[in-house]
Amino acid sequence: MNGVAVSVLIFLFLVVTVLGFAAARWRRADLNSLDEWGLGGRGFGSFIAWFLIGGDLYTAYTFVAVPATMYAGSAVGFFAVPYTIVVYPLIFLFLPRLWSVSHRHGYVTPADFVEGRYNSKTLGLAVAITGIVATAPYIALQLVGIQVVLQVAGFGGSSGFVKDLPLIIAFVVLAAYTYSSGLRAPAVIAFVKDTLIYIVIIVAVIYLPHKVGGWDHVFSTVQSSFASFNKQNAGAIAAKQASGKAFITPPIAQWAYMSLALGSALALFMYPHSVTGVLSTKNRGVIRRNAALLPAYSFLLGLIALLGFIAVAAGVKVTNPQQSVPQLFENEFPSWFAGVGYAAIAIGALVPAAIMSIAAANLFTRNIYRAYFRPNATPQEQARVSKLVSLVVKLGALVFVLALSKSFAINLQLLGGVWILQTFPAIVVGLYTRWFHRWALLAGWAAAMVYGTWVAYDQASPVQKHFGSPLAKFPFTDTLVYIACTAFIINLLVTIVLTVILRALHVDPGVDATSPGDYVADVDDPRVEPEIDPHRPAHA
């Protein structure tokens, strides 16, 4: 254990802990309201939102997993960079519409919107359950990110309870300040997290290549390393890799690469934590400005990916590729700056984990508890339930990490991407047209969920018999594609065909609780009372 590095890590962790609890006094308000506790009062401006949404999307696991994939010899791991570029023009188009209708009607979750738009609690429930089950393993992966840092920092040599104690302490602190401060806590901590990450990455891509012999040495070392790796593990691909194309995905993987990027881009802002960050903003302009500014994080992500190559050139040897970047920091940085690097990753887990648990709790409270058990629940009761559920969600993630293998958590998170994409037709298409029939949407969602889950379950990995790769052959072909994209196509086909049939049979489509003007409206005061009760249909 490096005492200096660990001391820096602990000091910075204590700083963000103090900030997390102090956030309850920032923009002082009644945190016994779900709008205040779960959405930060719906009043964040461009500057705060940029840190909050960026800190939410670019997680600690991104910091660990993307370079780990590159380190392990797979150029496919670079798909994360183009997908985060593709996503921003998409959100520039549809998120302002979601913001407007949500603020006009007091919607807190995407499932609230779906329920009001289609007059269907069942469809809202389907969206809510999908959001919760897709988010839960994502929270677990943030704890995995912290655990990886702790192992490299020297805590991995312990055994039993002592080994897990630092992670448990981090969980308790996270749970406590999220409970007390709500969304304000990750909003404040995001400033520290993103500042640390930018400093560490910029220093790393300048200092580390120079130390290991320059970028030319880095790429030539990786070239030969990839060629050797693929000769041993990829058979027919080896010739192409060895002939100077180690940084280009082979033909067999190119559709996989493209579908992973496209499917992930479509799915990213279907996650409830992404929507929570967006709905916390004070007007539509904030969303548009952030859609233009957030690609700065994609540039940072490209630099993060290159750390995997630098780790190869630096001769980092780890049995778990996820440890490659922390171990690189341990080996090459001065002790005090290695501690800063550890802190950047560990604190990078706290922001998204907090927002994810809040978003999952809001879904449960609004679309399960209130919708089915307590339709007359007061705002105070809803806030209280969300606070308690956020604790349960984080506890479940902790148990998941401590009791099950890390590969299982990773595979379930990949499966979460398959699931969450299936809410796209109901949410995004619903922002523009109500042509899809509510029962057709439900059937399309169910068909895609069954297909995606079954195909993902059938993918074996070297470690596990099931839930291995997120890729599978496209039906009736030998082309590997992202399972989520195939399931999404099935979703759309089923929805379109059934909509035509149900409309021809004049099956009741329900009454829309929104009006066209709701999707383009802006407000000066984001805390105005909702014009329409979201559970009382007002417009045909």
Amino acid (one-letter) located at 480: L
Q: How far apart are CA 3 and CA 270, in angstroms?
A: 42
Q: How far apart are CA 305 and CA 70, in angstroms?
A: 7
Maximum Cα interatomic distance, the chain, rounded to a whole number of Å: 72
Q: How far apart are CA 88 and CA 90, in angstroms?
A: 5
Q: Tokens standing for 499?
A: 């909509």
What Å distances lie between residue 171 and 150, 185, 343, 455, 470, CA to CA? 13, 14, 15, 34, 29
Report yes or no on whether pTM surpasses 0.85.
yes
Q: How far apart are CA 326 and CA 345, in angstroms?
A: 9
With tokens 């499917």, the residue in question is: 263
**Which pLDDT score, from 0 to 100, does residue 526 have?**
43
* Residue 472, φ and ψ in degrees, nearest 5: -155, 165
Q: How far apart are CA 114 and CA 110, in angstroms?
A: 6
**Which pLDDT score, from 0 to 100, does residue 537 have?**
44
With tokens 């072909």, the residue in question is: 477
Residue of 449, 426, 415 whose CA lies nearest to 495 = 426
380 CB neighbour count, 10 Å cutoff: 12
What are the residue ranges in the chain where pLDDT is below 70? 74, 156-162, 226-247, 404-411, 459-468, 523-540
**Which pLDDT score, from 0 to 100, does residue 532 have?**
43
Query: Is 104 in contact with 521 (CB distance < 8 Å)?
Result: yes
Contacts of 113 (CB under 8 A, 6+ apart): 98, 101, 102, 105, 107, 427, 430
The helix/strand count (H/E) of the chain reads as 22, 2
- DSSP per-residue codes, 277-306: HHHTBSSHHHHHHHHHHTHHHHHHHHHHHH
- DSSP per-residue codes, 365-389: IIIIIIIII-TT--HHHHHHHHHHH
**Which pLDDT score, from 0 to 100, does residue 158 have?**
56
Q: Tokens standing for 51?
A: 């840190």
Which CATH class, in words, describes the domain spanning 3-409?
A: mainly alpha
Q: How far apart are CA 539 and CA 517, in angstroms?
A: 11
Where are the domains positioned within the chain? 3-409
